[in-house]
Amino acid sequence: MSSPQGVEKLEREHLVWIYHQMSRIREFEERVKRTFEDHPGVIRGHTHLADGAEASIVGSIATLGPDDQFFTTYRCHGYPIARGTDPNAMMAEIYGRRDGLCKGLGGSMHLTDVSNGFLGTSGIVGAGIPHATGAAWGAQIRGKGQVVLCFFGDGASKQGAFFESLNIASLWKLPIVYVMENNGYNVHTRTEQEDANRAAGDDLSMKAKAFSMPGVTIDGRDPLEVYEIVRAAVARARGGDGPTLVESQMYRLSAHGNIIAPPGVPLHFPEHEAIEKFGAPEEYEAAKQGDPVPAFRGRLVADGVLTGEEADAIAAEVREEMQAAVDFGLASPFPEVETALDHVYA
């Protein structure tokens, strides 16, 4: 992976932080995935992983200031981890436990941590786009220089909420950056099969032209390229020049989500769609060769930022941290039935 920023342009501490956060996200996702086999029945309902998106997540979140905010999709575990949210509370929430971020009442697709600027997620495709746009309007009204990052998948760019939100954000020059994470698939269908409104090979960032805002497509597997481009877009938004649409291209390495099995049948993750649906294991294997986590590790070691031993020590630390998150989640009690309607408002 090459980057116009270049490894040598960033401080060693920042580069190591990026790799550390990418490793934490990957290990957290692996522990969630393994829970289905190691602890059958602990996770109920839908769970969606973002392995393969670590570079895009960390490179983007690294651009935020302490008072900035962000919204994500239901594939949401990595963003709050990079922002500093406690993985123990996150795992407990995914397990539906009382010590979770939302007291066990939200689950995997409905995480939130307002104290860290993480304003929430939604299981509805594209629903976070108008929410984030509203938050950006609020930031503009407050006038304190806050910026909002809005993450969504390529499929959400076909929703009416996408067009309406980008239109008003451009008209009002709202301080928001839209990060469209194109992971190659809309649920079980390849992206190129889903969008009849563009010529084959056109970048999805071209949709920005309809709203008179900048649009750029980047390599979402390169955290430094993501950081540089999103940082520039954040600075533009903070300076009052309005929104930017960034298409971050990557490849998710797990299937769309777990299977919802009937009672008595263990829940699990199926094989990736390239294998299970399209019978193209070579596509999947080629994508794994571009896995951003080992690729960035190799890059840092090759450039002398980390030794192999130091990288191994980070991996060991991360494994210990995420095992502790699993243990914490399993030990946490379930919420009381009486709390089911708490925090519900009419």
How many degrees, rounded to 5, is the angle at CA 285 between CA 283 and CA 289? 115
**C-alpha to C-alpha distance for 18 and 251, rounded to whole angstroms:** 19
C-alpha atoms less than 13 angstroms from C-alpha of 164 in its C-beta half-sphere: 11
For residue 218, what is the enclosing H or E element? strand 215-219
Q: Where would I find the H helices in 189-262?
A: 223-238
**C-alpha to C-alpha distance for 85 and 77, rounded to whole angstroms:** 10
* Structure tokens, 237: 């938004």
Q: pLDDT truncated to tens, each residue of the chain (346 aa)?
A: 333 344 456 899 999 999 999 999 999 999 999 998 899 889 988 899 999 999 999 999 999 999 999 999 999 999 999 999 999 999 999 999 999 999 999 999 999 999 999 999 999 999 999 999 999 999 999 999 999 999 999 999 999 999 999 999 999 999 999 999 999 888 888 887 766 555 556 899 999 999 999 999 999 999 999 999 999 999 999 999 999 999 999 999 999 998 876 666 666 778 899 998 899 999 999 999 999 999 999 999 999 999 999 999 999 999 999 999 999 999 999 999 998 888 888 8
Q: Cβ atoms within 10 A of the Cβ of 13, count?
A: 9
Q: Cβ atoms within 10 A of the Cβ of 67, count?
A: 12
**Sequence ranges of the domains in the chain:** 7-327
According to CATH, the topology of domain 7-327 is Rossmann fold (3.40.50)
Task: Give 128-175 as a 3 state SS string.
Answer: HHHHHHHHHHHHHHHCCCCCEEEEEEHHHHHCHHHHHHHHHHHHHCCC
Tell me 288's DSSP state: H
Instruction: Please give the distance of CA 284 from its chain centroid, rounded to a whole number.
Output: 20
* Strand duo 189-190 + 185-186: pairing: antiparallel
**C-alpha to C-alpha distance for 214 and 205, rounded to whole angstroms:** 9
**C-alpha to C-alpha distance for 44 and 131, rounded to whole angstroms:** 27
As a dihedral over the C-alpha atoms of residue 27, residue 28, residue 31, residue 36, rounded to 10 degrees, the angle is -140
> Are residues 78 and 29 in contact, defined by beta-carbon separation less than 8 angstroms?
yes
* Structure tokens, 277: 């649906």
